[in-house]
């Protein structure tokens, strides 16, 4: 059983100490990813991060995708914090024919190497890291430290196609503002491509001079923008009083291909919360992408979804999201490839711990409908839409929509970590809890 994995944008960067989830002390489900059918029951399984478990050390659970029954646990290795802040399914790194796993910890004791064998000697400096595991038996494969990016390396991780040509899928790492070393400032963030074979940093994407604040708010793989094999990565900036936007980089050379700035009125905070790419938008020619931007003035947030042509590098359409006022630190956007062609795909926008509705847009930017998430919210789940991906099953593929849940601090019980979405009716199935 294999899993179809679609790149999407994970939520805007949270502070390194993670969010205060109140009644959900483990923050179970803050990250999630697809996993192969480990128990061979005909349904793909789930990888669920719990970065606040064990007083902030963290943990990763692998659960049955159909029942929520716990199948395996990956404990935090060594001296880390926030293990499970990000998780990703990565194409086969160790050559055994099974997709592997990457797990981020936002603080990690590091040493003066970029990547290397699991368990290399470490020093007392905490910076964050990505830990890669075999999808077959969960043995450790390698550690990605990306020391050039400084603190927060484990905030966001995802697999991308092979950029360095060694035959192994590579890894895109995003860090929020506040990094150092190669990014040369403690007030900016960024992203990097790391080798799937060995973990060494291949390319670092630095903030433009006018966006050196909240850079790294999001990152996305855009693929081939113009049909000429020029592959690209997008890194977002903001929201902040200094402005924000999206910078498109050549993934191979690191050069800047294009910049877009989020418009704002005087005195407002504006910037980008999420980007998704590899789309075929209405009016586009392929290689297109969508940007979720926000402007905040005097406490009022205005959210806009904008489509861009990858080949033309121009705006195709833009629509304000009416009645959408989520927490700016939790907004996210994901692509659901639900139809027979790319033009049939949908963009799912989520927003914030207190919002119980997901909005779904077509490739023309027009609202297709809303998803009532009140059932998940009433069961204690928060931030629905923290992740979205397809899970294969014998009865037909399903779309998982993740949220933050887990054991409750007050009153006992367990909050759900997500639910499956019926993309035809735009309705959620029963909330799923880890058993």
pLDDT per position as a tens digit, 324-359: 665 555 567 899 988 888 888 999 988 665 556 788
Please answer whether residues 240 and 258 qualify as being in contact, where contact means their C-beta atoms are separated by less than 8 angstroms.
Answer: no
Residue 418: CB partners within 8 Å, gap ≥ 6?
A: 29, 32, 46, 376, 381, 384, 387, 400, 401, 402, 403, 405, 431, 432
Tell me the pairing of strands 190-194 and 170-175: antiparallel
Residue 113 pLDDT = 37
Please determine, for residue 102, whether its predicted confidence score (pLDDT) is greater than 90: yes
Write down the pLDDT at residue 79. Answer: 73
Tell me the mean pLDDT in the region 111-125. 39
CB 34, CB 46: distance < 8 Å: yes
Own/partner pairs, 136-140, CB within 8 angstroms, 24+ separation: 136/96, 136/98, 138/62, 138/72, 138/74, 138/101, 140/77
Dist. CA 99–CA 11, nearest whole Å: 24
Is pLDDT of 304 > 50? Answer: yes
Residue 59 has pLDDT above 90, yes or no: yes
Question: What domains can be seen in the chain, in order of their start residue?
Answer: 31-428 (2.130.10.10)
Regarding predicted confidence, which is higher, 148 or 169?
Answer: 169
pLDDT band at 10 (very low <50, low <70, confident <90, very high): very low
Element at 303 (helix H, strand E)? strand 300-309
DSSP 8-state code for residue 378: H
Which residues lie below 8 Å from residue 400, measured CB to CB, with a gap of 6+?
A: 32, 34, 46, 65, 387, 388, 389, 390, 391, 418, 419, 420, 421
Determine contact, residues 315/305, Cβ cutoff 8 Å.
Answer: no
In this prediction, residue 6 carries a pLDDT of 36
Predicted pLDDT at 28: 95
Q: How confident is the model over 403-424, as pLDDT tens digits?
A: 999 999 888 899 999 999 999 8
Q: In 3D, which of 424, 328, 420 has the Cα closest to residue 376?
A: 420
The pLDDT assigned to 122 comes to: 37
pLDDT at residue 98 is higher than 70: yes
Contact 211, 189 (CB under 8 A): no
Tell me phi and psi for residue 15, to 5 degrees. -55, 150
pLDDT of residue 150: 61
199-235 pLDDT, tens digit each: 888 999 988 777 666 788 889 999 998 766 789 999 9
Give pLDDT, residue 266.
Answer: 60
Q: Where is 56: in which H helix or E strand?
A: helix 53-56
Q: Within 13 Å and on the Cβ side, how many CA atoms surround 201? A: 21
Query: 39 pLDDT band (50/70/90 cuts)?
Result: very high
Cα distance between residue 218 and residue 79, in whole Å:
27
CA distance 393 to 3: 9
For residue 50, pLDDT over 90 is answered with yes
Question: What per-residue confidence (pLDDT) applies to 285?
Answer: 85
Tokens of 204: 């670092």
Residues 176-203 have a mean pLDDT of 69
Which pLDDT does position 181 carry in this prediction? 36
Nearest Cα neighbor of 401 from 356, 369, 365 is 356
Query: What's the whole-number mean pLDDT along residues 260-285?
Result: 82
Using CA atoms, how far residue 293 sits from 7, 142, 274, 309, in Å, is: 19, 36, 7, 17
Average pLDDT, the chain: 81
User: 5-19, 159-173, 184-198, 285-299: which range is least confident on average?
Assistant: 5-19
Q: With beta carbons less than 8 A apart as the criterion, state whether 184 and 204 touch.
A: no
Quote the CA–CA distance of 258 and 270 in Å, as a whole number: 19
- Residue with the bigger pLDDT between 264 and 311: it is 311
């Amino acid at each position: 059983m294999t899993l179809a994995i679609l790149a999407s944008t994970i939520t805007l960067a949270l502070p390194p100490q993670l969010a205060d989830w109140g009644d959900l002390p483990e923050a179970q489900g803050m990250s999630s990813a697809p996993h192969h059918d480990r128990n061979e029951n005909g349904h793909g399984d789930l990888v669920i991060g719990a970065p606040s478990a064990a007083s902030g050390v963290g943990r990763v659970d692998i659960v049955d995708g159909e029942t929520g029954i716990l199948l395996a646990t990956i404990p935090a290795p060594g001296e880390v914090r926030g293990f499970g802040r990000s998780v990703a399914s990565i194409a086969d790194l160790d050559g055994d024919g099974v997709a592997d796993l990457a797990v981020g910890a936002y603080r990690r004791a590091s040493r003066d190497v970029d990547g290397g064998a699991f368990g290399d000697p470490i020093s007392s400096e905490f910076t964050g890291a990505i830990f890669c595991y075999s999808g077959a038996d969960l043995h450790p494969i390698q550690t990605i430290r990306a020391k050039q990016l400084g603190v927060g390396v484990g905030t966001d991780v995802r697999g991308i196609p092979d950029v360095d040509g060694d035959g192994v899928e590579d890894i895109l790492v995003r860090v929020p503002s506040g990094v150092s070393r190669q990014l040369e400032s403690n007030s900016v963030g960024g992203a990097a491509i790391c080798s799937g074979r060995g973990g060494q940093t291949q390319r670092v994407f630095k903030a433009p001079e006018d966006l050196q604040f909240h850079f790294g708010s999001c990152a996305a793989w855009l693929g081939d923008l113009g049909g000429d094999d020029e592959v690209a990565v997008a890194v977002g900036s903001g929201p902040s009083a200094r402005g924000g936007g999206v910078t498109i980089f050549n993934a191979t050379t690191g050069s800047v291909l294009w910049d877009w700035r989020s418009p704002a009125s005087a005195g407002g905070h504006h910037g980008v919360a999420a980007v998704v790419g590899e789309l075929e938008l209405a009016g586009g020619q392929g290689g297109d992408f969508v940007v979720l931007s926000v402007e905040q003035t005097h406490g009022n947030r205005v959210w806009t979804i904008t489509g861009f042509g990858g080949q033309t590098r121009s705006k195709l359409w833009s629509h304000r999201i009416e009645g959408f006022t989520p927490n700016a630190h939790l907004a996210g956007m994901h692509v659901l490839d639900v139809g027979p062609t790319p033009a049939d795909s949908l963009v799912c926008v989520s927003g914030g711990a207190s919002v119980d509705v997901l909005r779904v847009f077509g490739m023309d930017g027009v609202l297709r409908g809303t998803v009532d998430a009140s059932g998940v919210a009433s069961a204690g789940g928060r931030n629905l839409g923290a992740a979205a991906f397809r899970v294969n099953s014998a009865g037909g593929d399903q779309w998982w929509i993740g949220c933050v849940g887990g054991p409750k601090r007050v009153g006992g019980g367990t909050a759900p970590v997500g639910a499956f979405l019926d993309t035809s009716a735009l309705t959620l199935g029963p909330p799923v809890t880890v058993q």
